[in-house]
Amino acid sequence: MEEPLIPVGPMSHTAHIRSHRKPRQPGTSKMAMRAGVAGGILSTVAVAGASASANAAEPVTQTLELPTLTADLSAQVAQSADATQLAAANYELQAERDAAAAQAAKEAKADLAVAKKKAEARKKAAEEARQAAAERAERAARDAERATLTTVSASADTVTPPAGGSVGTVIAFLQAQVGDAYVMGASGPNAWDCSSLVQAAFKQVGVDLPRVSQDQSMVGTEVSLSNLAVGDILYWGGKGSAYHVGVYIGNGQYLDAANPSKGVVIQDLSGYPASGAVRVL
């Protein structure tokens, strides 16, 4: 015999239906990561995930909380952007200044080179003009002196050449060189030393003399200083070791290439007496 069903209190209309929802497993988790402002750049990373076992219940919707921009954070971002922009502007300005300075330095260097070149050209031109003026003045003085000597010689009986004219040719050549420079080792046409002048003078009449004073004192015939004739070669120092020579032109005078300060001149024997004389004509 079956037992009768005894109702106990009111029952839910779903009391006889089993729950279709599975219990939530304890492994469910939620994780949110926030990142703030670094170097003026705001970044936010949110990661949500749930770890469940192989027998996990049905997935549950997760809500991720995003970071909120506060007023202070916004101000920091704006300030950082302004600073970055200002730094870029300053860098650009400095670059422009550096470029301008480099260009100015380059132009100044070029201007300096041009100015230096012009100054050197002016200096060279001035030096050339000075030299030309000095040469003209020297030439004019020589010409005037030669003209004077020619006039004096023409009126002096002591320089009248003997028959044949050989001595006269020698004297005329020597007088034409008065005013030329004295340069040791030079042999004309505008500079001489003592022995080269004597050698060149006698070469005009076909007499070949040695080049140096020592040897010239050994040629021809020895004559006394009290019996000199126009055209005799005078020497200073010992015979065979003479250190200077000249030519007697009469009236107690001789012509020689004296020294660098005097050049080719006519001098008095009384002021610088010779040691001896030789005659070749």
Say what the pLDDT of residue 63 is. 57
Q: Does the pLDDT of residue 93 top 50, yes or no?
A: yes
From the options 3.90.1720.10, 3.30.70.260, 3.40.50.300, 3.50.50.60, give the CATH code of 161-279.
Answer: 3.90.1720.10
Q: Does the pLDDT of residue 123 top 60, yes or no?
A: yes
Q: Does the pLDDT of residue 102 top 50, yes or no?
A: yes
Say what the pLDDT of residue 150 is. 45
Give the Cβ contact number of residue 181 at 10 Å.
15
Nearest to 192 by CA among 202, 205, 179: 179
Q: Of the ranges 39-53, 74-88, 231-245, which one carries the lowest mean pLDDT score?
A: 39-53
Nearest to 194 by CA among 215, 168, 172, 224: 215
Q: Does the pLDDT of residue 31 top 50, yes or no?
A: no
- Of residues 240 and 88, the one with the higher pLDDT is 240
Stated pTM of the model: 0.45
Say what the pLDDT of residue 33 is. 41
pLDDT one-digit tens code per residue, 42-56: 444 343 444 444 444
- Domains in the chain: boundaries: 70-155, 161-279
- Average pLDDT score over residue span 8-27: 50
Q: Of the ranges 23-27, 98-102, 169-173, which one carries the lowest mean pLDDT score?
A: 23-27
Residue 109: pLDDT band with limits 50, 70, 90: confident
- Of residues 227 and 33, the one with the higher pLDDT is 227
Rounded Cα distance, 274 and 232, in Å:
12
Say what the pLDDT of residue 95 is. 87
Say what the pLDDT of residue 191 is. 97
Rounded Cα distance, 182 and 185, in Å:
9
pLDDT one-digit tens code per residue, 249-264: 999 999 999 999 999 9
Say what the pLDDT of residue 177 is. 97
Nearest to 263 by CA among 145, 169, 131, 171: 145
Q: For all residues of the chain together, what is the average pLDDT?
A: 76
pLDDT one-digit tens code per residue, 182-220: 999 999 999 999 999 999 999 999 999 999 999 999 999
Note the helical H segments in the chain: 71-155, 166-176, 194-203, 213-216
- Of residues 71 and 112, the one with the higher pLDDT is 112
